[in-house]
Amino acid sequence: MIQPLDSNDTEQPSVDYLPARMINEYVYCPRLFYLMHVEGQFADSYETVQGRIVHRRVDSGNGRLDAPEVFPEADLEPAEIDMPPEPPKRRGKMKHVQAATLFADADTADDDVDAADPREDNEEKTRSSVHARSITLSSDSLGVIAKLDLAEANGQHVTPIDYKRGRPRREADGTAGAWPPERVQIALQAMVLRDNGYQCDSGMLYFDETRQRVDVPLDDALIRQAEQAINGARAVYDSATIPPPLVDSPKCPKCSLAKICLPDETARLVENRRLSELEPDREVRAIVTARDERRPIYLSTQGLWVGKKGDILQAKADGKLLQEIRLNEVNQVNLLGNVQLSTQAMQTMLRMEIPVAYFTQKGYFYGVAGGLGVKNILVRREQFRRADDTQFCLRLARELVRGKIRNHRTLLMRNHRQPSSITLRELKRSADHATRSDSLASLLGIEGNAARLYFGDFSGMLKVDCDVETSPGAALSEKRPAFDFRGRNRRPPRDPVNALLSFAYALLTKDCLVAATKVGLDPYLGFYHQIKPGKPALALDLMEPFRPLIAESAVLSAINNRMVTPEHFLVAGQSVVLTGTGRKHFLMAYEKRMDATVTHPLFGYRVSYRRLLEIQTRLLARLLSGEIDDYPVFVTR
């Protein structure tokens, strides 16, 4: 009998406490629990923000609760202990040691009362109720740590109260009830209280929207349910494999992690293991919003100084305020050339997880600053394991190259004045050829050939007449190169179209790198592109199918819509560079393309290209973790 008490110090289990809040998530959806608690991913939604606002008052508590009156001594016989009249503990362990330490110096707490609540001035032993807010308690026997929003103590009787946003569940008889996740969470709080020596036989939920309290009695059935939830959650935690998504669940649209979890998309790709068997036009619920609500900033004026004031970025030149940008509207910051960003601003970006990308003035991409990366190490481990598997790399690379060539062909068919049937046929053949290729080296050859064919016909997609004769003023036009494209060249680009293409690819590399980092992948370890110092190989892999759809398409629309004209270029020796104004105009064209929506061929809903990059990258992570078998490369029709 004495053993469980004595063994307290020696047994010291290697508990990794599971927060009661996380077990709530587990009951809601095991996959949500995994993403949040195992992979460490979090995203805000309307509901989470509302929940935080509801919790503002209770979270401001001092976390202090008077220690339970009855302290069983460890060396006493259980019979001698003045046990409070409560049901016998199922796990039989009193955490009195912890009670004394966790209750914020229980001895001194008595005279240091919370002034905000006059009721706490009462004598300790009076029967009037005492409130304490924001108390953290743990239980070794349960392996659970719980944060109590509010505890109402009535003598030795303590009732935990949890604040919830929204309204209670309406039971069949019309009374207010609670959903299983909330019931389990409050039960865990009550069980942790019991384990710490308090008497507790019910918990309470407070619903902010209707200002209703719902009583949750702690009965055996609920205790059993809570224990099952703990075991289930621990099993998922230990196994480190992601549980499958809920099937067509009404919970998903309100879940803050839906855009990370991709429940219906994953379910669809799992259901039809082989992509070839997928019926194309079955729609998937569009749970995520079609567009990112926030937008990128490009700071390209040379000599700009960017600081932060409140939640606003201020861009100044020569001490004069040029523009104010609200931080909650920003999803990335790009610095081109000599632009200063203050440390305070940089710290805020890191805290808000806003990536900051650095380019040269001419648009050569240096890299991205963005904190220590996503905590999600599991997917990165899979990435490294898979990169050693040559068969896996080849399979993925084939799909990427095929997708890129197919998209090249589509772009030609859509935009070329008179697409040459020979080129189209050849591109189609190369795409098929790519799927049968037996090595990365031969894939490179196929890709190179297709690119040569494609760029040979690229000029047919330019629909502006920028001949030297038509430019006003012959003297000027000698210095202004026309949009005369005769094939791809770079380092340096030798004509305006190549200059735009190079800049567009640099921007796209940046966006793919940001997407890869966001998902938790290492952007420098690719599957098709091999390791080379400083080369973001995975970002380059990811961008292959998107080169025509985003970068080249943005170049075409910038030229064809005359957003960029020959006046926007300068010739320096062999190379051609964009002027500052030209760069700004092209950035607008590029971002317009990123913001344009497109129908996803597999899921049937419309999303912006920026969102699409993220979805495709998350699907790649699903492939790496083995949840799906084929990577669905994005191909437009």
Partner 1 sequence: MRRIYLITYDVCEPKRLRQTFKCLKNWGDHLQYSVFECHLTPTDLIHCKAELAEIIHHGEDQVLVVDLGSVENRSDDLVQAIGKPYSDMAAPCIVV
The reply to whether 539 sits near partner 1 by the rule CB under 8 A is: no
Per the annotation, does 529 bind a ligand? yes
CA distances from residue 211 to 54, 165, 422 in whole angstroms, order as listed? 11, 10, 71
Q: Which is nearer to partner 1, 297 or 405 (CB)?
A: 297
Main-chain dihedrals φ then ψ at residue 369, nearest 5 degrees: -100, 135
Give min distance, CB of 273 to partner 1, in A: 35
The reply to whether 74 sits near partner 1 by the rule CB under 8 A is: no
Q: Pick from 301, 348, 420, 560: which binds partner 1 (CB under 8 A)?
A: 301
562: left (phi over 0), alpha (psi -120 to 50) or beta: left
Q: Is residue 169 within 8 Å of residue 212, measured between CB atoms?
A: no
Q: Which is nearer to partner 1, 275 or 322 (CB)?
A: 322
Omega of the bond prior to 245 within 30 degrees of 0, cis? no
Residue 429, Cβ neighbours under 10 Å: how many? 13
Of the candidates 336, 334, 340, 338, the one whose C-alpha atom is nearest the C-alpha of residue 364 is 336
The reply to whether 176 sits near partner 1 by the rule CB under 8 A is: no
Q: Pick from 315, 396, 424, 497: which binds partner 1 (CB under 8 A)?
A: 315
Q: Pick from 94, 144, 242, 297: which binds partner 1 (CB under 8 A)?
A: 297
> Among residue numbers 29 through 68, which ones bind partner 1 (CB under 8 A)?
44-46, 49-50, 53, 56
Question: Helices 580-595 & 609-624, crossing angle to 10 degrees?
Answer: 60
* Calpha distance 377→359 (Å, rounded): 28
Give min distance, CB of 291 to partner 1, in A: 8
Per the annotation, does 329 bind a ligand? no
Span between the terminal Cα atoms of the chain, in Å: 73
The reply to whether 356 sits near partner 1 by the rule CB under 8 A is: no
Task: Please tell me the count of residues contacting partner 1 according to CB under 8 A.
Answer: 35
Structure tokens that stand for 259 in this block: 């855009």
* Calpha distance 326→310 (Å, rounded): 9
Name the helix (H) or strand (E) containing 449: helix 440-456
Q: Pick from 101, 175, 239, 289: which binds partner 1 (CB under 8 A)?
A: 289
Q: Taking CA 444 as the corner, what is the angle to CA 438 and CA 450, rounded to the nearest 5 degrees?
A: 110
Q: Taking CA 625 as the corner, what is the angle to CA 624 and CA 628, rounded to the nearest 5 degrees?
A: 80
Give min distance, CB of 260 to partner 1, in A: 16
Establish how many alpha carbons lie within 13 A of residue 232's alpha carbon, considering only the half-sphere containing its beta carbon. Answer: 19
Tell me which residue has tokens 């669940």.
249
The reply to whether 553 sits near partner 1 by the rule CB under 8 A is: no
Give min distance, CB of 288 to partner 1, in A: 12
* From 260-268, 274-282, 555-563, 586-594, span contacting partner 1 (CB under 8 A): 586-594
Per the annotation, does 544 bind a ligand? yes
* From 118-126, 295-303, 541-549, 599-607, span contacting partner 1 (CB under 8 A): 295-303
> Among residue numbers 383 through 412, which ones bind partner 1 (CB under 8 A)?
none
Three-state DSSP class for residue 239? helix
| Three-state DSSP string of 325-342 | EEHHHEEEEEEECCEEEC
Q: Which is nearer to partner 1, 44 or 467 (CB)?
A: 44
Q: Pick from 286, 588, 606, 630: which binds partner 1 (CB under 8 A)?
A: 588
Q: Pick from 146, 341, 594, 620: which binds partner 1 (CB under 8 A)?
A: 594
Q: Pick from 83, 322, 570, 571: which binds partner 1 (CB under 8 A)?
A: 322
- Binding site for Mn(2+), by residue number, is 447, 529, 544
Q: Which residues bind partner 1 (CB under 8 A)?
A: 44-46, 49-50, 53, 56, 289, 293, 295-301, 304, 310-312, 315, 322-323, 325-326, 328-330, 584, 587-588, 591-592, 594-595
- Binding site, by residue number, is 447, 529, 544
